[in-house]
Homo-oligomer: A and B are copies of this chain.
């Protein structure tokens, strides 16, 4: 067949009906079309290889079949898990997803949102947690409001305080329960890879963990809390700094799994054994990382489900008055990377 470019008009002419009728038959409408004409039109469309022009439809209907997905880095398994859930929801609804990556730049996030708006995207899912920077949060909120003013829907994963529905893990409690479990194993001296100082998620996990320790009468030496990038390499680097400074901790908590992975690598490179010399725990329970040895103790988050649910909030439900918040509890999973401290 001779390629694309068959228009609805050609189909209509070929079938001997009006544009209106052809449109009603092929692209759905509230109105019925008589059996006879309907068959003629579908036959013509099939014969000519008609394929609707999506832009023209978007323009005429003033709504598209696009849903945006904004993540920091699609190669990060945390985000790719969420992305997997979002695409599943979207495809269930017959929509197609537009993937934007920010590289963790707030500015880029705004640009992407504007682009999505210009495409009349029906909804957008914002994954990737926010910094506590008020200025950039305010600008993001503005963009979201503009997006919503157009009839678009916005849902977030893991970032409260924006004027949008949100699926948010209970970082504080998850971290607190993890801390209690580790204390239960006998640990008394902890070190924490706390991630970036200004990242909300990192802070909440740190606070939760910290709080639970305080509740157990345990305090942390300041140099046992080390900040760094929220990535595998950030975890590696932070661990090296921790070791260089010297620590007597028996258990190391990294505020996410990818950092914990880096930590385990750094410990291995330093000749330390996990959990014999030092226990390690993370947060998220990234599926791809479940095969690490020793298996990582962590707080399980249903990442794919969270992506699915965020997309569902944005797509299925009507816009609500106030932003809805779906809280997700984490489940502490103790595996081999943590063990009772050696009696010393």
Could you tell me which A residues sit within 8 Å of B by CB distance? 1-5, 49, 51-56, 58-59, 64, 66, 69, 73-75, 77, 80-81, 83-84, 87-88, 91, 96-101, 112, 114-115, 117-120, 145-146, 149-150, 232, 261-262, 264-265, 268, 287-289, 291-293, 304
Q: Give the contacting residue for A117; candidates B51, B88, B265; CB below 8 A.
A: B51
Tally of this chain's copies: 2
Q: Which residue of B lies closest to A274 (CB)?
A: B293
A262–B288 Cα distance when bound, in Å, is 11
B55 and A146: CB pair below 8 A? Answer: no
Residues of B within 8 A of A99 (CB): 69, 83, 87, 97-99
B100 and A98: CB pair below 8 A? Answer: no
Q: Which residue of B lies closest to A142 (CB)?
A: B1
B74 and A80: CB pair below 8 A? Answer: yes
Main secondary structure of the interface of A (DSSP, over half): helix
A59 and B51: CB pair below 8 A? Answer: no
Q: Give the contacting residue for A101; candidates B51, B91, B146; CB below 8 A.
A: B91
Query: In whole Å, how far is A146's beta carbon from the nearest beta carbon of chain B?
Result: 6
Q: Which residue of B lies closest to A150 (CB)?
A: B4
B5 and A54: CB pair below 8 A? Answer: no
A340–B91 Cα distance when bound, in Å, is 49
B83 and A119: CB pair below 8 A? Answer: no
A96 and B98: CB pair below 8 A? Answer: yes
Residues of B within 8 A of A261 (CB): 291
A117 and B149: CB pair below 8 A? Answer: no
Residues of B within 8 A of A87 (CB): 74, 99-101
Q: Give the contacting residue for A268; candidates B59, B262, B293; CB below 8 A.
A: B293
Q: List 21 A-B contacts (CB under 8 A).
A: A2-B149, A4-B150, A5-B150, A51-B117, A52-B118, A53-B120, A54-B118, A55-B56, A74-B83, A74-B84, A75-B81, A75-B288, A80-B80, A83-B99, A87-B100, A96-B100, A96-B115, A97-B100, A268-B293, A288-B289, A291-B292
**With A149-B3, A291-B264 in contact, do A97 and B98 touch (Cβ < 8 Å)?**
yes
Q: Which residue of B lies closest to A119 (CB)?
A: B54
Q: Give the contacting residue for A59; candidates B53, B292, B293; CB below 8 A.
A: B53
Residues of B within 8 A of A80 (CB): 74-75, 77, 80, 83
B74 and A64: CB pair below 8 A? Answer: no
Query: In whole Å, how far is A308's beta carbon from the nearest beta carbon of chain B?
Result: 12
Query: In whole Å, how far is A190's beta carbon from the nearest beta carbon of chain B?
Result: 22
Residues of B within 8 A of A264 (CB): 291
A39–B261 Cα distance when bound, in Å, is 54
Residues of B within 8 A of A64 (CB): 55
Beyond the given A49-B146, A53-B120, A69-B99, could you list 8 further A-B residue pairs with CB under 8 A, ordered by the A residue number?
A4-B117, A4-B146, A53-B118, A54-B119, A55-B120, A74-B80, A97-B99, A291-B292
A261–B291 Cα distance when bound, in Å, is 7
Q: Which residue of B lies closest to A59 (CB)?
A: B55
Query: In whole Å, how far is A48's beta carbon from the nearest beta carbon of chain B?
Result: 13
